[in-house]
Amino acid sequence: MQGIFQKENTDKALKYGIYRHLPTYEKIIRNLVSFYYKEYLNQEEEKEEELLKESLKYYKIAAGNQHVEAQYKLFEIYSNGEIIEKDNQKAIKWLKEAAKNEKVEAQEKLAQYYEKNKDDINAKTWYEKAANQGSILGAYKLGEYCMVGTTGVAINEVEAVQWYKKAAYGRHTIAQYKLGECYENGIGIAKNRYEELTWYRKSAEAGYVKAQYKMGVKYDKGLGVTQNYRVAINWYEKAMQQGSLEAQNNLAECYKYGNGCAKNPRRAFLYFKQIAEKGYAEAQNNLGECYQQGVGIEKDLAKAVEWYKKAAEQDNARAQDNLGRCYWFGIGVTKDDVLARKWIKKSAEQGYAEAQNDLGIYCRDESKFGRKLAFEWFEKAARQGHAEAQTNIGECYKEGLGVERNTQQAFYWFNEAAKKGVARARYYMGECYENGEGICKNFVKAEEYYRKAANQEYAEAQYRLGRCYELGKGVDNNKNMAAIWYEKAAKQGHIEAQYYLGKYYESRELWGSAIESYQKPAEQGDAEVQYRLGRCYEKNRQREKAIEWYQKSAEQGYADGQYHYGKLLDLKDCTHNFDIAFEWYRKAADNPHPSVDACLRIANYYYQDMDLFFPARNLALFGGSILIPVANTITIPVAIAGGIASRKLLKSHFLKSDKGKEMIKYYQKAARLGSEEAKEKLKELGYSW
């Protein structure tokens, strides 16, 4: 057989087709090409073309005799143009011949040719032929065609999964990734977390960049695996090294928040900037947030808006919402409600829950006519699991804003948000349990939820927890514990907590602390607190400050403020002040919520007048008798016994006078308000109350 590889013998063999079907045939072809190629290398340029054509002759002879390897070789020669000028028509001709003769590589290439030329029917046909001969690429491509469908190819997700499986078991990395997606999302097969992660991992370990990124996300978010930021970073870095912008973006977020690594705001900023400048929208938004928050760079609100705009114009939903909020609140730009609504709405219409919630708030605050629309946006976001929106829709049901009031629905949504740890929702849960709204009253549960929210520094819950301790709701009565929680809420500016904390200090005669606690609510115009602040100043021996705050309270019509303001004026020992003081006493006594002290003060003043009605020193003027008027024009003399007029007659006369009637009126008022002194005086005077 050795002689066959000499050129002359090979020529003869090919001429007569002797070795067409033998294994040595390919060796013969190689021998001829090798011979002519060596000759070609050793010849001068003018002989090159002749030698190359001579080498092709033998491939053509073999190909014409249906030798598939020769046919495929001719396809390669005509395609790459290394030995002879490119000729795509001849290349495709020989490719088709090789494909018809069932060469798998030829079938794959022919399918790719049809795919490139948008002939999906022929492409699928040849991929299928290749796949049926074990082609991994063919199986993967058939999976793609069945998954998305195309001209003449119906969508068949179940069949797609079967083809993906064949390719995946053949170690096709993209097919492995796609199969992982199917298991993750339940496409064409039941969801299976174990299988999902298995195939993602195989693809990632084989170096497929999307799978590496996906594994990073799984460990980053704890999806189907125990959350492990360090492992996530490892996968992100692998994907980033292959140019994954998504992975670099997420890696930057790890550095921003210190997840799995030391916090490094500057590196985060630089990573974001690098890919933002490449046009990656998510990074552009994140870069905007860095400028807005001063992360890794000095705050620059104008720059933040600039990057938000770049991302928003690429339809990045987060950036659109951020840009809308900038226009809403005037962050880095002039406030513009029209642009605010435009961008937030664009984001919301993309299904971004944060924007849907923002748009709900915007509509709710816009006017009463926007409440129904607000409810609709809150609902969209709430059904996506957005915790703040769940709280907001709970408020809508609780208050009947944009929807019919429904306390049970309110409770349901508050509970959903509370489970996610939203402090405001936990506070509302406490309120529902305390008041029996949408659920049976349960003070213990109310206290439990108030405490959870209070521990999250939610001021209203801290105040309510203080009330629970003060009133003994769900816990033992404990005024000291109540004061602790009032103080926490008061430090956050909670007015009612400041008021009750002031009352606590006042009850313990800690005047300085009480003054401090009452100051802010008093400055906000609460008349009762102004009165209490005045009282604390009075007790603290700061009379001028006391007068100032009593006056503020009095001028708002608060009865105790009116009385005490009058009292301090009265103490100034001035006739003019006394007249003013008496007017304030009368205002306090005639108040819709009268002051018992003012009633007593006026009544006692008239009572003293009764004793002075006929001063003893004036009796001599009447020669031992006085004249008592019994009618408009009639008077009678009253005898003086031992220098003292008949008390009974004098009292009777006084009680019929205007002053006497006023005295009785105010004693009766005071008695009805519970004054024992007034009751005793009325009994003495022979009156009931």
Dump pLDDT digits (tens) for 634-679: 444 554 444 444 566 767 888 888 999 999 999 999 999 999 999 9
pLDDT, residue 689, reads 83
What value does the mean pLDDT take over residues 73-98? 88
Instruction: Determine the structural domain holding residue 535 and report its residue range.
Output: 493-594
Per residue in 305-344, pLDDT tens?
Answer: 999 999 999 999 999 999 999 999 999 999 999 999 999 9
Comparing 425 with 149, the larger pLDDT belongs to 425
Residue 527 has pLDDT above 50, yes or no: yes
- DSSP string covering 176-193: HHHHHHHHHHTSSS---H
Per residue in 15-26, pLDDT tens?
Answer: 444 344 444 445
How far is 458 from 450, CA to CA, in rounded Å?
9
- The reply to whether 370 and 380 lie within a common domain is yes
Backbone angles phi, psi at 153, to 5 degrees: -125, 115
pLDDT, residue 654, reads 84
Q: Using a pLDDT cut of 90, give the percent of the chain over it.
A: 76
What value does the mean pLDDT take over residues 181-189? 98
Local confidence band at 40 (pLDDT 50, 70, 90 cut-offs): very low
- The reply to whether 509 and 461 lie within a common domain is no
- The reply to whether 553 and 462 lie within a common domain is no
Local confidence band at 46 (pLDDT 50, 70, 90 cut-offs): low
Comparing 612 with 622, the larger pLDDT belongs to 612
How far is 683 from 662, CA to CA, in rounded Å?
16
How far is 126 from 123, CA to CA, in rounded Å?
5
pLDDT, residue 18, reads 38
Backbone angles phi, psi at 145, to 5 degrees: -60, -45
Asked, for residue 272, whether it belongs to a domain, the answer is no
- DSSP string covering 33-100: HHHHHHHHHHS-GGGHHHHHHHHHHHHHHHHHTT-HHHHHHHHHHHHH-SSS---HHHHHHHHHHHHH
Asked, for residue 81, whether it belongs to a domain, the answer is no
Residues 6+ apart with CB under 8 A from 576: none
Comparing 645 with 571, the larger pLDDT belongs to 571
Q: How many folded domains does the chain comprise? A: 4
Local confidence band at 4 (pLDDT 50, 70, 90 cut-offs): very low
**Helix, strand, coil shares, percent, the chain, to 5:** 75, 0, 25
What value does the mean pLDDT take over residues 362-387? 90
- The reply to whether 590 and 502 lie within a common domain is yes
Asked, for residue 508, whether it belongs to a domain, the answer is yes
Residue 466 has pLDDT above 50, yes or no: yes
Residue 514 has pLDDT above 50, yes or no: yes
Lowest mean pLDDT among 77-91, 96-110, 147-161: 77-91
pLDDT, residue 214, reads 98
In the numeric block, the tokens 């529902």 are attached to 432
Domain boundary among 420, 449, 479: 420
Asked, for residue 122, whether it belongs to a domain, the answer is no
Within 13 Å and on the Cβ side, how many CA atoms surround 358? 27
Asked, for residue 626, whether it belongs to a domain, the answer is yes
Residue 434 has pLDDT above 50, yes or no: yes
What value does the mean pLDDT take over residues 521-537? 96
- The reply to whether 503 and 483 lie within a common domain is no
Per residue in 288-308, pLDDT tens?
Answer: 999 999 999 999 999 999 999
Comparing 63 with 252, the larger pLDDT belongs to 252
Q: For residue 636, list its beta bridge partners.
A: 628
Q: Cα separations (Å) of 310 from 78, 302, 342, 356, 583?
A: 47, 13, 16, 21, 70
- Select from 124, 140, 133 the least CA-distant residue to 101: 133
- The reply to whether 488 and 506 lie within a common domain is no
Domain boundary among 389, 420, 451: 420
- The reply to whether 542 and 459 lie within a common domain is no
- The reply to whether 500 and 588 lie within a common domain is yes
Asked, for residue 73, whether it belongs to a domain, the answer is no
Q: Cα separations (Å) of 325 from 71, 285, 374, 653?
A: 65, 13, 16, 79
Domain boundary among 420, 447, 469: 420
Asked, for residue 247, whether it belongs to a domain, the answer is no
- The reply to whether 362 and 414 lie within a common domain is yes
Asked, for residue 608, whether it belongs to a domain, the answer is no
Lowest mean pLDDT among 24-33, 197-206, 405-414: 24-33
Local confidence band at 574 (pLDDT 50, 70, 90 cut-offs): low
Residue 371 maps to which CATH number? 1.25.40.10
Q: Which amino acid is at 224?
A: G
